Amino acid sequence: MERIRQLRKERGLSQVKLAVMADMDPATLNRLERGTGNPNLKTMERVADALGVEVADLLPKAPRRSPSEPTLNDALGEERRLGYLRAWRAFVYKLIQRWEETPPKTAAEVGVVSDTMQALLNEGAFQRPPETLTTRNSREASEWLDLSFLFRGIDRLNKIADAVQEDAEAERRRATFREIEGRMAG
């Protein structure tokens, strides 16, 4: 990931020095920087801690989309859309599992929920379901099932986050969730 390399260089660190600080093999860090590694969350957390940033800061920032650009719904075929929904659902449920074992302690840790909800909302992932789903349209039924699980997972994350965060950022997160809820309900 280019962002890791950029932050490392800004701090005047060599790959070896950062790898030592992150308690990892320098070859692993090299693969991460080149984008050929497939890091797990723990690895990303170690690198982020060593650089003094949040995990989200290591990821490339998506450019803001203009209203004329296609959304996820427009640009992706149905199969890819379903795949993305399942990936988001897996991410949300893994985060739930992690937070239930070790609840977040800071507003910064909770920020990933706001970012996730906003990204999904911006891409048009949430929309009102059709009035009826027929068994003949199994793809549509599968999509709504995945979307429903994703929504329930985000609701659970919000409840865990509420125990940690009571500030203006928490209200922004709750408002985003209410908007998602409104789109799901129609």
Residues of the chain with pLDDT under 50: 74-76, 133, 135
39 and 84 co-located in one domain:
no
160 and 125 co-located in one domain:
yes
Q: Is residue 116 part of a domain?
A: yes
117 and 159 co-located in one domain:
yes
Decide: helix, strand or coil at residue 147.
helix
Domain boundary among 10, 28, 58: 58
Q: How many CA atoms lie within 13 A of 176 on its CB side?
A: 22
> What is d(CA 69, CA 4) in angstroms, rounded to the nearest whole number?
29
User: Could you please report the per-residue DSSP string of 44-69?
Assistant: HHHHHHHHTS-GGGGSPPPPPPPTTS
| Residue 78: predicted pLDDT | 62
**CATH code, 51:** 1.10.260.40
21 and 112 co-located in one domain:
no
Q: Cβ(31)–Cβ(37) under 8 Å?
A: yes
181 and 94 co-located in one domain:
yes
Q: Which amino acid is at 9?
A: K
> What is d(CA 44, CA 46) in angstroms, rounded to the nearest whole number?
5
Range of the domain at 21: 2-58
Q: Is residue 63 part of a domain?
A: no
Q: Is residue 37 part of a domain?
A: yes
16 and 54 co-located in one domain:
yes
93 and 147 co-located in one domain:
yes
83 and 139 co-located in one domain:
yes
Nearest to 58 by CA among 4, 17, 14: 4
Q: Is residue 31 part of a domain?
A: yes
| Residue 9: predicted pLDDT | 92
Q: Is residue 6 part of a domain?
A: yes
129 and 171 co-located in one domain:
yes
133 and 89 co-located in one domain:
yes
Q: Cβ(15)–Cβ(26) under 8 Å?
A: yes
91 and 128 co-located in one domain:
yes
37 and 126 co-located in one domain:
no
| Residue 77: predicted pLDDT | 59
Q: Is residue 180 part of a domain?
A: yes
* Count of structural domains within the chain: 2
